[in-house]
Structure 1
Amino acid sequence: MARPLRASRSPKGAPNVIIILLDDVGFGQTSTFGGLIPTPNLDKLAAQGLKYNRFHTTAICGPSRAALLTGRNHHTANSGFLMEWATGYENYSTMIPRTTATIGEVLRDNGYTSWWFGKNHNTPDWEQTVAGPFDRWPTGMGFDYFYGFNSGETHQYYPVLFENTTPVEPDKTPEQGYHFMTDMTNRAIARMKASKAVAPEKPFFMYFAPGAMHAPHHVTAEWRDKFKGKFDMGWDAYREQVYKRQLDMGVIPPGTKLTPRPDWVKPWDTLNADQKKVYTALMENYAGYFAFADHEIGRLQDAVKELPDADNTLIIYIVGDNGASAEGGPDGTLNEIKGLNGINSPLEDVLKNLDKLGGPASEPHYPVAWAWAGNTPFQWVKQVASHLGGSRNPMVVSWPARIKHDDKVRDAFVHLVDVVPTILEAAHIKMPKTVNGIAQKPLAGQSFLASFTDPKYKGRNEQYFEIFSNRSMYADGWKADAQHTLPWRQDLAPGNWDKDRWELYNLDEDFSEANDLAAKNPKKLAELQAKFDVAAKKFGVYPLDDRGAGRLSSPKPPVPGADPGGKHFVYAAGAIRIPEPAAPPMKNNTWTLNAKVKGEGAKTQGVIMAFGGVAAGITLYVKDGVPIFDYNYFDEHTVVKSSKPLPDGESTIQLDFDYAGGRGKGAKIALKVNGETVGTGSMEATVGGRFGIDTFGVGEDTGQPVTPAYKAPFKFNGDIQQVTVDIK
């Protein structure tokens, strides 16, 4: 006789669990950890819980998130680096395997409901189309609900949004006050309240991962102006002030040294007036964005307090998935996608466009030196996994039912892989040997639940680090470091790993990695180098790959089921939100686009094809009946406009893009209507890497507009019968 189906129940007393994960935050930025950016809501959470000052990430976002969600090292979860830089090596494929099930899936199988809000940088972008597969989307990795964006970042005013696996659009425009941070917070609060109203005894797991503080740093002038003049002292004085605050607050132990300014940071007092104006404005903008993000997270925290089981809610607030980011380049930028393509923005370009700062027409990022200052007291920055400036982030934990506030900062050596075991122990759940019938790889971490009540808990004994060939090995208080690449030089791939200089630090005596002992203790250094080699072989770190822009622009897997050698692409209206690797390869190639449309002459309006967005992209659209092609090369627009409007009825619009060859080179452009050439143009350079954080679509420009000449989505008001793209 068949047994009746029964819904799984959670263990008695299992807590609600919320993981809050910020992006690109330095150890010395929040007021909670001695920084000069006020974060009052993080302060409040810390005042009822615990602060951790030796928590570690992988030094970059996608791998950090894979480690956090699976409890395995990022290479084991096939996430050795970011999906946009994926290679054919399994551990760098960014395709999280089913043998490393997420905490969302394990908890859901044990009576929890699970939700993912915000950033998802763990679904390969060639799997982000309507064709799927969807098993590596949040809803395929154990989460009941997803509301957010795929990829490393999104435009906060024009986000590329999905609800579960369905593309959705914001309900307001930027002019009406839309911002993604507010939107996702509203959604999270509403779902949390509704779930507890329907099933008050069912615990939830919420993964709350906003795009903040990753670039683009989007915030209104109202928030930015709160920080006017607050950073005029410059980055050198900022570090001195924060270092003193950290000592006074007990965030860092007595005797900690402030690491010196490196040669890649200019002394503040040597800068001219224009440099100071730009650099302070970009930092004020970042601080405003951070204050705004703290405000929104405060609303979430307040909503938790209204739950019937508020005290039994475990909040793990990880303040950054890596250290502060230096990807804005030496001068900062209003177009950070340009930097990711290996092109730095001249200071003059930023200065003359400061009126756009923080708004929808900008994609801002602050300069390298503010990232260095933000990581006080450590060396280096995001991506540099070799040093603590890249991999050490603050963490705050609150659980009123089990944690009594303690002013003593917890100094256990803890890593992202330790979070899953901690949650499972808190919920009285054992990690299953199989999930959905698939044998599971062992967890890499260990629970730090004991630290909730034991301030002497020491944490893990060993941990390796590797990102972009920047590598490190920690063992029993000692740490060996080899810095290899520069985060602001995507064009740099030095190779020669055997020539890297290794450093050695005793972290028990040297919290900030200020005293290199490599020359004094070569035996200990050799011991740690050997340990790194063992870990690298065990967890699949090799082969090392230090390519930046080169790997970014290298071929990626095709959409599953697509022809990998295809050169003929056919679309109908409504084909939207196609990510860059899944779209026609219209960069570094000659191509022809043909659109068969039906309109009403001068009344015809709207987008035929759009690819990319504010940072860079291409669009073919019709305005007042006139076909127009616009190539946005990092805010430099090459426009080819038809000399005559479309006739009534059916027309064929053709765009010939005759590329010069190579990478990022120029092109000649010809626009034709019904076989007649109606406009020509030329370009000296084109985008060689990626258009950025928006997608390809036909019939409308979803997300950010490629050009300010229209308001997105500027949907085509006629009939698009077919759009074809032929790669030559």
Structure 2
Amino acid sequence: MRHIELEVQLGGMQERDVSKGNCRGLSVSLTVITLLLGSTPTLLKATGPLTPSVGKPVFPPAGDFAPKWPQQPRPAANAPNILLIMLDDEGFGASSSFGGLVPTPNFDRLARQGARYNNFNTTGMCSPSRASLLTGRYPHNAAMGALSDLAAGYDGYSSVIPKSTSTIAQVLKEHGYGTAMFGKAHFTPPWELTAAGPFDRWPTGLGFEHFYGFLQGDTNQYAPNLVVDNRYVTPPVDPDYFFEKDIADQTIRWIDEQNHADPAKPFFIYYAPGATHAPHHAPADWIARFKGQFDDGWDEVRARIFARQRAAGIIPASTRLTPRPAELPAWDSLSSDQKQVAARFMEAYAAQLSYVDAQIGRLLDTLEKTGKADNTMIILIQGDNGASGEGGVEGTFYEQSLNFSAPESPAYKLANMDKIGGPLSDNMYPAGWAWAMNTPFRWFKQNASHFGAIRNGMTIRWPGHIASTGSVRQQFSHISDIAPTIFEAAGITVPVELNGVRQKPIDGISLAYTFQQPKAPAQRKTQYFEILENVSIYHDGWVAATRPTYMPWQLFSADRPKVSFNDREWQLYNVANDFSEYRDLSAQQPERLHALQTLFLDEAKKNNVLPIHDLGEGGAGRPGLATRSTYTYAADTANVHVSAAPPLGGKAYSIDVDALLSDTGRNGVMVAQGGRFSGFSFYLKDGVPTFAYNAIPPRVFTVQANRALSPGEHHVIVRFEPDGGKEGSGTLRFTIDGADAGGGQLPVTLKRFWFTEGLDVGKDLMTPVSPDYEGPNSFPGVIRSVQFRLQ
């Protein structure tokens, strides 16, 4: 193929072969024409002189052409709307629809109108469940073998969902569905979370035409790190703002807009509340509803839930209640003060779950009002994993405390007990409550070896398609089964190729076979599970599982017990007859255990599970943006994501600010990162340069310069020099316009800040780093520039 340029003039034509750089003289030339020979019809041949035509050419009229339009994809006739709902960290026995003590009337409503599944399994952790849910593949086949935050450089763990594992949203959009997502994503690689993108693995890059929610593992319900489509935005300034209500409002608005624009177009909505992941925030009046309801403690609450589950037929009558792990204290062993605080933690959790049920009820009412309820399949998954024990034995007032090895004082929690669940807390309940919420199973989120981590209640409602509504289905199923179930309901054949990329086979099995036959034999015979070296394998009614070697609250602890995977203790359960994994049969049937171990290895090889590795292994060469030694920002900078902000932990650094201070104000932020629960702020207080370092309250340290700024231009610098102390301590010094301005000590610093708030210049958005001010505390003047220099 070659490009030909023809230059036509009155007396001749010149042809230039562009690909070879040669020119040949011809005879006639009128204008310049470019032809792509071999790929388009020849419009003018350069084989001889141009012969003048006689008379004007006649062009055919438009009436000779039948109108033809590019066709938009149309779904199958009567294709249902799909509302896919998945809560976070709920636990099998939490809601009233699965025997729990937390009233969830709208979950109960769906259970009456549909079918509950008591043998439905997730992956044991957030990101893997979400990737498996949306792609229909096992998590390691979607490159999400662990939290996206814990990505490793192995095929099954990179957190980079490949284009060969298309999502439900991508497939349904190609078949004419409107698609939208509201709530928690948590499937984007950490280094792709900034405003620079790429956005391929943001929800809008994975088939959702609209996204309203947050991208990482959790968020502040009162001040979320909010994303709309592919932009970070500041939440509304409203004292009554609450995230769960906001996403319900947004979803209802989207349904109404779609209905007004094209009532016949079906929709796919993925609704993923932040509840009931920490922080367990809830409006104060909802928390008050549960006052005193959990004073009897987790041992008694668990026994009550178990009795309710058996009485309602949610679990087999033969089920035995597994005992409390030795790692958890008995409720009666707690002091009176400890019981008060622990009960308040649970009241906040219960309020959050009950509140989100009410918001989902508003969605159900909207479907009824718009006439769409009867043609909408609703799938409710009550948790992306089991309830979380990450709050530790005592619970945490601030979620970050255990992650950052910052122990909390029991006296502090007692003194601030009434704030639990409110905007000044970032709370996570004690692990004893997670154990109770996972009734009748043992263990917690992370421990994918046992049902406490992977067994979640699930309900499907689809009017006219499900027999024996209100009943319980017992077929063993997996979260990857949801995608093919939706495809079958929508009359869609899973594409072999999408957008030019050959697709991996779907691992899931459609659950449609259970709709009309409640007691149909389970079609899933084998399923592996693996999270953070906790593994299990299910096969034909048997489970082989490793016993956890550490508790979830020890994950980031320096003294976390470490046991080589090949040295792990394995257990064996006949779950066909032992629903709760009560009795370990490994000593009685070692041959069966060995056969299942071999089967697990085979499944691991087939599904990118290898290498099974410890936290931190495989991180060499991990992509990242925070690799520079200098970072410069302008006055309009807002909410720079933590993965792109200067990494100050363990480093010497300086922050240089050029600013014009007006004569109308004396207080305001020059630059801040983070917020109420961790971060730093460099600001003016009564005109004095001040540096606050929030190392998780109450560890908030403030150092001031020795003099105030006058109105006008100033160059202010703060420098930090670590002194090698165990807790990251060091010295701060200020410089004002080139002259030393004093300083002081920071006794504690953190290796990193929490991901829920970014870096701002000239203000402190969302929540304030320092109790000295309320946000945004805008700077009274003009910030010319802010520059960080890191050693």
> Quick one: distance in 2 between partners of 1:442 and 1:291?
38
Q: CA deviation at 1:530?
A: 0.7
Query: 1:318·1:395 contact (CA, 8 Å) conserved in 2?
Result: yes
Q: Residue 247 of structure 1: which of 306, 310, 313 is its match?
A: 310
Q: Helix, strand or coil for the counterpart of 1:653?
A: strand
Q: Per the alignment, in what secondary structure is the counterpart of residue 142 of structure 2?
A: coil
**1:128 — aligned with what?**
193
Deviation string 1:642-684 (CA, Å, 9 cap, x unpaired) is: 3322222211121101123487421111122212333412123
- Paired letter, 1:18: L
Q: Report matched runs for 1:208-227 at 5 Å.
A: 208-227=271-290
Equivalent position to 2:145, from 80, 104, 111: 80
**Given residue 60 of structure 1, which amino acid in structure 2 is its aligned partner?**
M
Q: Distance in 1 between matches of 2:601 and 2:748?
A: 43
Deviations along 1:396-437, whole A, 9 cap, x unmatched? 111113224533310111111000000000000011011111
Instruction: State the Cα deviation string for residues 159-185 of structure 1 (Å, max 9, x = none).
Output: 011110122222233xx2110000110
- 2:442·2:450 contact (CA, 8 Å) conserved in 1? yes
2:97 to 11, 29, 32: 32
Name the residue aligned to 2:635. 573
- 1:98-137 correspondence runs (5 A): 98-137=163-202
Q: 2: CA distance between counterparts of 1:434 and 1:215?
A: 39
- Contact kept? 2:468, 2:518, Cα under 8 Å: no
Contact kept? 2:131, 2:139, Cα under 8 Å: yes
Q: Report the Cα distance in structure 2 between the residues aligned to 1:172 and 1:404, rounded to whole angstroms.
A: 47
User: Per the alignment, do residues 90 and 626 of structure 1 end up closer, same or farther by CA in structure 2, a change over 3 Å counting?
Assistant: farther
Structure 2 segments unaligned to the other structure (5+ residues): 1-64
Match of 1:350 in 2: 413
Question: 1:466 corresponds to which residue?
Answer: 530
**What CA distance in whole angstroms lies between the structure 1 residues aligned with 2:725 and 2:168?**
45
**d(CA) in 1 for partners of 2:744, 2:112:** 62
Per the alignment, residue 655 of structure 2 pairs with 593
Distance 1:80 1:505, change over 3 A: same
Equivalences for 1:323-342 in 2 at 5 Å? 323-342=386-405
Aligned to 1:557: 623
AA aligned to 1:538 is K
What is the alpha-carbon distance in structure 2 between the residues aligned to residue 678 and residue 156 of structure 1?
Answer: 40
Task: Give the aligned length.
Answer: 720
Verify: 1:528 aligned to 2:596, yes or no: yes
Counterpart position of 1:259: 322
2:26 is aligned to none
Deviation digits for residues 444-480 of structure 1, max 9, x if unmatched?
Answer: 1110011111111314111111111111001111111
Cα distance in 1, alignment partners of residues 551 and 128 from structure 2: 18
Determine if contact 1:657/1:670 at 8 Å carries over to the other structure. yes
Amino acid of the structure 1 residue aligned with 2:166: A
2:45 corresponding residue in structure 1: none
Residues 695-724 of structure 1: CA distance to partner in whole angstroms, max 9, x if unpaired? Answer: 223222222222232222233342111111
The answer on whether the counterparts of 1:556 and 1:581 sit within 8 Å (CA) in structure 2 is no
Structure 1, unaligned stretches of length 5 or more? none
Report the secondary structure of 1:515's partner residue.
coil
Deviates more, 1:256-265 or 1:121-130: 121-130
Q: Name the aligned partner's letter for residue 69 of structure 1.
A: L
Establish whether residue 316 from structure 1 lines up as the match of residue 379 from structure 2.
yes
SS at match of 2:118: strand
**Structure 1 residue runs of 4+, over 4 Å off?**
550-556, 661-664
Which of 481, 486, 502 aligns to 2:545? It is: 481
Counting only pairs closer than 5 Å after superposition, residues 518-667 of structure 1 correspond to structure 2 as: 518-547=586-615, 556-559=622-625, 565-601=627-663, 603-635=665-697, 636-661=699-724, 664-667=727-730
Which shifted more, 461-470 or 683-692? 683-692
Q: Percent identity?
A: 43
1:596 aligned partner, one-letter code: D
1:108 and 1:114 in contact (8 A); partners too: yes
Q: Which residue of 2 aligns with 1:156?
A: 221
2:545/2:571 contact within 8 Å kept: yes
Q: Relative to 1, partners in 2 of residues 1:533 and 1:3: Cα closer, same or farther, differing over 3 Å?
A: farther
**8 Å contact kept, 1:588–1:663:** no
Cα shift at 1:554: 8.6
Partners of 2:322 and 2:284 lie apart in 1 by: 34
Alignment check: 8 A CA contact 1:552 1:689 kept:
no
Match of 1:501 in 2: 569
Q: Which range is displaced more, 219-228 or 201-210?
A: 219-228
Tell me which of 381, 386, 394 is aligned to 2:444.
381
Residues 231-277 of structure 1: per-residue CA shift (max 9 Å, x gap): 11111111111111100000000110000111011111121111111
One of 391, 399, 417 as aligned partner of 2:480: 417
Q: What's the counterpart of residue 513 of structure 1? A: 581
Classify 1:39/1:360 alpha carbon distance in 2 versus 1 (closer, same or farther; 3 Å).
same
Q: 2:134 aligns with which of 51, 61, 69?
A: 69
TM-score by length of 1: 0.96
Match in the other structure for 2:757: 694
- Residue 19 of structure 1 is matched in structure 2 by 84
2:205 matches 1:205: no
What is the distance in 1 between the residues matched to 2:622 and 2:704? 34
Of residues 349-358 and 115-124 in structure 1, the stretch that sits farther from structure 2 once superposed is: 349-358
1:617 counterpart letter in structure 2: G
The answer to whether the Cα contact below 8 Å between 2:122 and 2:384 also exists between their aligned partners in 1 is yes
CA distance in 1, matches of 2:154, 2:293: 47
**In 2, Cα distance between equivalents of 1:41 and 1:97:** 36
Q: Which amino acid aligns with 1:415?
A: H
Between 1:480-489 and 1:241-250, the stretch displaced more is 480-489
The secondary structure found in structure 1 opposite 2:473 is: coil
Partner Cα distance (2:278, 2:740) in 1 = 41
The Cα offsets for residues 17-60 of structure 1, whole Å up to 9 and x where unpaired, read as 01111001111111111111111111111111111101111111
1:575-620 CA distances to partner (integer Å, 9 max, x unpaired)? 2222222211111111111111111156144322211222211111
| SS of match in other structure, 2:530 | strand
- Note closer, same or farther for the CA distance 1:661–1:104 as it changes in structure 2 (3 Å cut): farther
Give RMSD over aligned pairs: 1.8
Cα 1:600–1:683 change in 2 (3 A) is same
AA of the residue aligned to 1:427: A
* Secondary structure of residue in 2 paired with 1:350: helix
Does the 8 Å contact 2:193/2:643 carry over to 1?
no
The aligned counterpart of 2:9 is none
Match of 2:59 in 1: none
Larger radius of gyration: 2
- Residue 193 of structure 1: which of 223, 235, 256 is its match? 256
Partner SS, residue 92 of structure 1: coil
